[in-house]
Amino acid sequence: MIRLDRVTKTFPGSTSPAVNELSFDVPEGEIVVLIGPSGCGKTTTLKMINRLVEPSGGTIEVAGQDITALEAHQLRRGIGYVIQQVGLFPHKTIAANIAVVPHLLGWDAARISARVEELVDLVELEPGMGDRYPSELSGGQRQRVGVARALAADPPVLLMDEPFGAVDPIVRSRLQDELLRLQAQVRKTIVFVTHDIDEAVKLGDRVALLNVGGILEQYSSPAAVLRDPANDFVADFLGTDRGLKRLSLLPISGVDLLPGPVVPPGATATEARSVMAEHGLDWFMVGEDGHISGWLSAEDLDGGRSPAELEMRPVRTILSPDSSLRDGLDAVVSSHTRAATVFDGDTYLGILTIDQISNEVLQ
């Protein structure tokens, strides 16, 4: 969908290029993340794609067409653009902000109204929010409006320049999840700029890691970058915890879970102790047919009562098959049972332990 071929940008008065003979392809329907240190040209590269900055050399194609063959305003109508500060018009309602591009394109009122309503629902804003003004919204809500506005004319390409950098970490994580949810539905070609390697790993189908001067050091999937950095610069940029970052890319569904210490509701104390000994644990769960009622510890059995006579504790450290092994590691180390239980809905699948996580990292 997007092709950069030896793209260079040297700003007036500068003796060295901000971007130097940069070449890579962005496949249709994928998220490509540009990341690197300050001065690496990632935002300049993004702006050259929609000609907010004109390249000094090389060519950029969008959907097979050289971008210089189009008037800049025509090019931009086919490219959505989202920035960190959102850039909403403060004197316009949320609905009017979302409708800016369709209005410029001459859509009729009924079509615009239907599209605004569709997008408010798509980005999960409250139905009546269209009549409010930007100052009445939270930072996270304004970012959702910014995404909705960029999608309003249904452009094939979306450019996002650190769109979630100005919100707190909790809201940022939710917005990242929202973007992935939206992408699964609308399948846009997205070029996303960030300085956060965790964000790049989470969102990117591919990562373009740039060095100062817009030099491309590595371009591949997040998993490949983390597994096999191209050089010392890439390894240093990824940091010493790149093994942990890899865990965020590995789903629990790829792990052979342990059955865990489970006894039926009518089990005796002796049977429960036997199951705990078999698994090398000092706790057990009570359940059958994929349903877990709760868990008990070895100490609970000291009074000689059977599991059925005891008050069970609810299982709280719960993961799903879609959870990442990084989520799993956090759950395991936070649990005094040294394991996390995995459920598919209400159905118990097994337990995850540190040993299993370690084995996956070493493969």
Q: Whole-prediction pTM value?
A: 0.78
Q: Where are the beta strands (DSSP E) in 212-280?
A: 215-220, 262-263
For 276-319, write each residue's pLDDT tens digit.
999 989 999 999 989 999 999 999 998 778 888 899 999 887 89
Query: Considering the domain 252-362 in this protein, what is its CATH number?
Result: 3.10.580.10
Sign for the pseudo-dihedral over CA of 74, 77, 83, 85? positive
Contact predicate 225/239, CB 8 Å: no
- Give the residue, 29 or 123, on which the prediction is more confident: 29
- Give the residue, 82 or 277, on which the prediction is more confident: 277
Q: Confidence class of residue 4 from pLDDT cuts 50, 70 and 90?
A: very high
Summarize the confidence of residues 344-348 as an average pLDDT.
91
- Give the residue, 166 or 21, on which the prediction is more confident: 21
CA angle (57 as vertex; 62, 27 as ends), nearest 5: 25
Sign for the pseudo-dihedral over CA of 79, 162, 209, 221? negative
pLDDT at 362 over 70: no
What DSSP assignment string belongs to 282-311?
A: SEEEEEETTEEEEEEEGGGGTTS--GGGSP
Two tokens, residue 257 = 């879970």
- Locate the domains of the chain by residue range: 2-247, 252-362
User: For residues 87 and 68, what is the distance between their CA atoms, to the nearest angstrom?
Assistant: 26
Q: Closest by alpha carbon to 306, among 262, 273, 265, 269? A: 269
pLDDT at 360 over 80: no
pLDDT at 86 over 80: no
pLDDT of residue 264: 94
Look over the chain and give the mean of its residue pLDDT values, rounded to a whole number: 90
pLDDT of residue 363: 61
Q: Closest by alpha carbon to 204, among 184, 182, 180? A: 180
Q: Confidence class of residue 336 from pLDDT cuts 50, 70 and 90?
A: confident
Q: Compute the radius of gyration of the chain from its Cα atoms.
A: 26
Q: Confidence class of residue 254 from pLDDT cuts 50, 70 and 90?
A: confident
For 179-200, write each residue's pLDDT tens digit.
898 899 889 999 999 999 989 9
Summarize the confidence of residues 152-170 as an average pLDDT.
85
What DSSP assignment string belongs to 155-222?
A: -SEEEEESTTTTS-HHHHHHHHHHHHHHHHHH--EEEEE-S-HHHHHHH-SEEEEEETTTEEEEEE-H
Amino acid sitting at position 98: I
Packed helices 169-186 and 109-122: angle between N→C axes, nearest 10 degrees: 120
| β 291-297/318-319 pair status | unpaired
Fold of 2-247: Rossmann fold (3.40.50)
| β 318-319/189-193 pair status | unpaired
Sign for the pseudo-dihedral over CA of 312, 316, 322, 328? negative
